[in-house]
Amino acid sequence: MEHSAARYHRLQLALSVLALVLGAGWLLAMTLTAVARLVAELAMTVTDRLWWAVLVVSAATSIGHTVLTAPLTIARSYWLPRRYGLLHQRLAAWAFDRLKAAALGGLVGLIVIEVIYAVMARTPAWWIFAAAFVATVSLLGAVVFPVWIVPLFYTLTPLRDAALAERLEKLARRAGVPVLGVWLVDQSRKSRTLNAAVAGFGRTRRIILFDTLLERLGPDEVESVLAHELGHHAHHDMWRMVVIQTALGFATFWVADQLLRATAGPIGLRNLADPAGVPWFALVIGALGLVGIPLVNWHSRAVERRADDFALSVTGDAGAFISAMERLAEQNLAERHPPRWKETLLSSHPSVDRRIGRARRRVASAPRASESE
């Protein structure tokens, strides 16, 4: 099993890197071969409105990128998970989900790029407004995620096991995290993977469980998994991540502003808000985003370790936590022994074995009842 997981993740990484290279190559080709300029000028024959040219160039950029990377997307997100037994969704259903995700992501992305270019055309301080707007959109997405977005891909129903629902809601109260009920999603219709979440903020916060989690884990193990998720909310990790992402966003857009100003002339852009620069803008922002990933992941791993400690403290059941981690690793085909460089650069969570080892050390270092009396 471990060998299969390692091979699966190696293939996933190879496909992801290849898709990244092809995507970057497409953006670079659109910029350097003047394809983007041609598309922008054709758009301007209809109307000279900036928003229209940005829309047309953005659509051409996105469609070209999607077509170019489609074989890799299918291999990475459909064929490979099916080959390794993680996914059993039919191709048509999978494609429909991808279409919905692409439509939603495309709409949000288009709104963001339109706002950025509109501000870019009006003020040299565009990067400040762009970073603030992106942060606002991200926060709004987190708020509406359990209410509007999850139902687009899953059927949510209240948990019918009243005893378990009461137990989990009581756990949430002990953790100091008010929730609006426990909901079940039909993950088994698509995949064998296990997961749980406490999604939303304030009035939209609710417990979400995969039905596969209840099929594979006992109540104590489910409670341990949920306790970890509650730990994030008890520690206000979501807000801390918002602050970090916002700070990185401002830094990213400031650096992007410097790079775009330095390169606009050499690559033939008339000004910073030239719609022919949309592919170049996307490439610059994407490259800067990649640079920030290790820092975000370093913080994320620290947050995940603290949430594990919270779960052990609030449940007092290290055995259930460890057995839940073992089952999650098996069902989700987790890479238990990733190379250190890979975990450091690419992983948002510590490896399963590190999490289990930390839990065992915590138990071993805890004073025994007879010693504490």
Token pair listed for 323: 């057995």
Q: Which residues pair with 207 in a beta bridge?
A: 182, 198
* Distance between CA atoms of residues 270 and 258, nearest Å: 16
> Residue length, the chain?
373
Active site residue 169: no
Residues 211 and 184: their CA atoms lie apart, in Å, by: 6
Distance of CA 353 to the CA centre of its chain: 22
Contacts of 157 (CB under 8 A, 6+ apart): 183, 184
The C-alpha atoms of residue 109 and residue 103 are separated, in whole angstroms, by: 10
List, as one string, the DSSP characters of 277-342.
Answer: GHHHHHHHHHHHHHHHHHHHHHHHHHHHHHHHHHHHHHH--HHHHHHHHHHHHHHTT--SS--HHH
**Around 362, how many Cα atoms within 13 Å sit in the side-chain half-sphere?**
20
Q: Tell me which amino acid residue 120 is.
A: M
SS3 177: coil
Sign of torsion, CA 161 164 167 173? Answer: negative
Closest to 184 (Cα-Cα) out of 61, 162, 310, 244: 162
Beta bridge partners of 58: none
Parallel/antiparallel/unpaired status of strands 156-158 and 182-185: antiparallel
Give the active site residue among 229, 304, 335, 343: 229
Q: State the catalytic residues.
A: 229
